[in-house]
Amino acid sequence: MLFNSIYYGFFLPCVVALYWIVPRPVRYPLLLVASYLFYANWIPPYLLLILGLTVVNYGFGLWLGRDRRRAVLALAVVGNLAVLGYFKYANFFLDTGRSAFKADWPTLNILLPLGISFFTFEFIHYVVDVWRGSPPVRNFVQFALFAAFFPTQIAGPIKRYQAFVHQLQEYPRFDAQSAGEGVYLIVRGLFKKVVLADGLARIANSGFDNPAGLGSLDTWITVYAFAFQIFFDFSGYTDIGRGSAQLFGFTVPENFAAPYLARNLVDFWRRWHISLSSWLRDYLFIPLGGSHGSRLFNYRNLFLTMTLGGLWHGAAWHFLLWGAYQGAGLTALRWMGDVRKDRLGTTPTLRSVPVAVGLLLGIIATFHFTCLGWVLFRAPDLATTQLFVTRLFTPVAGAEELPVADRWTVAALMLAYFGGVGGAQALRVLLPPARWARLLAWEWTLRPLVYAAGIVWMVIFPAAAQRFLYFQF
């Protein structure tokens, strides 16, 4: 069931209404059943997978609560990774081995269960934190709902069980203001997905499907289109998920914070897919050794973390290379910082460059570094990646140029994003807190107009429900 489908438009209000009508003890079982129905709507047999993993990890949590041996933790983590590895990476390794050894190995017809990467990481986080000393969840319904909660079930954000279960234990009360915020997030997310992301998908797909026909200008337009398509698609999903959760009285973490205004690559990963970035930091980078030890050891940990994070996105070489590209960028940034620190004897600053100019140059450089990475992420093969990179930096006149309207669409969208979002962030820094708070108060008076405009646009320009990009991960 897609968030942007008519079915979800009926499903969500019905579940919300029933949730607040029934007695408190019935609410969580009702929400759990609704979450399982939501998941079973895709491939019913895979409901057994999430049920089985829930039972097993619930048992491991209780076991680790009284026996914190590393062997028990290793068994729990390896078990979760084995399930993820089979469903997500078995065919990838078989295909790689078949090509490397010219072997006639069989192909496994495995359909990737939706959301397996997300709820597997939530289970791993749970057993690791219980092993570290956090109390296990003893109420099975609450634990099952932590994993199956349908607003975040398929594509996150990746929840931390302590925060979510704490909300469950308090039995959230209905709050009209929070519910209004939830509706606003849902409308905003639908607009991002249906109007912006799906509109940009046509431009990006046109370019990536026919790279040989693009000139240099249209190659850049195609890359920019995909950069904003994936942002609006994924952040739109997150908005709808967070808004849906708030209708039930729950708060789930933000996943995006104006990522294309990041001043460097470290800042970008604090703003993009925040729940995954923090998970990789806490459960991969730090266990590998983090920033302790020698600098070379630190660089290795950083590179490995991002490379494995790239592979988490999909069982394909281009995802692995995209992760390595990000890891190399972060490692180079850390190395340059260390070199400047050694030379200056302190944390490096850009005193010779005006702060505003330095910030602007950092945003431009980070955005374009990220865009080049998106070529690796999106291109179907390395030959297409090579062709794109060549066209980006070599003046070429295309045989089949993109329509002028597509160029202006992408240019206008970029201007609106950097001008609007960037201007708002600048005002937040420059204005006194009291004045900024008064300015924010106007947002609530404008929200009815946002609701109306978004709904009217989607009614006038209806489109078939398209899957969210991150459903494949």
Catalytic one of 125, 273, 313, 318 = 313
SS3 state of residue 66: helix
CA distance 382 to 253: 35
Tokens of 159: 């929840």
SS3 state of residue 5: coil
Tokens of 437: 């708070």
C-alpha gyration radius of the chain? 23
Tokens of 427: 């005002």
Q: CA of 294: how far to CAs of 83, 134, 289, 343, in Å?
A: 35, 31, 10, 18
DSSP state of 153: T
Contact in structure between 135 and 65 (CB atoms under 8 Å): yes
CA distance 275 to 471: 16
- Closest by alpha carbon to 376, among 363, 364, 389? 389
Contact in structure between 326 and 311 (CB atoms under 8 Å): no
CA distance 231 to 223: 12
The set of residues, in sequence order, having a beta carbon less than 8 Å from that of 23 and lying 6+ positions away, is none
CA distance 106 to 322: 28
* 313 counts as catalytic: yes
Tokens of 155: 């594509």
- Rounded to an integer, what is the distance from CA 82 to the centroid of its chain? 23
Q: Count CB atoms within 10 A of the CB of residue 246.
A: 24
* Residue spans of alpha helices (H) in 191-294: 198-209, 216-247, 265-271, 274-280, 286-288
DSSP state of 154: T
CA distance 281 to 309: 10
CA distance 249 to 169: 12
3-state secondary structure 162-218: HHHHHHHHHCCCCCHHHHHHHHHHHHHHHHHHHHHHHHHHHHHHHHHHCHHHCCHHH
CA distance 245 to 15: 12
Give yes or no for a cis peptide into 157 (omega within 30° of 0): yes
Q: Please list the active-site residues.
A: 313
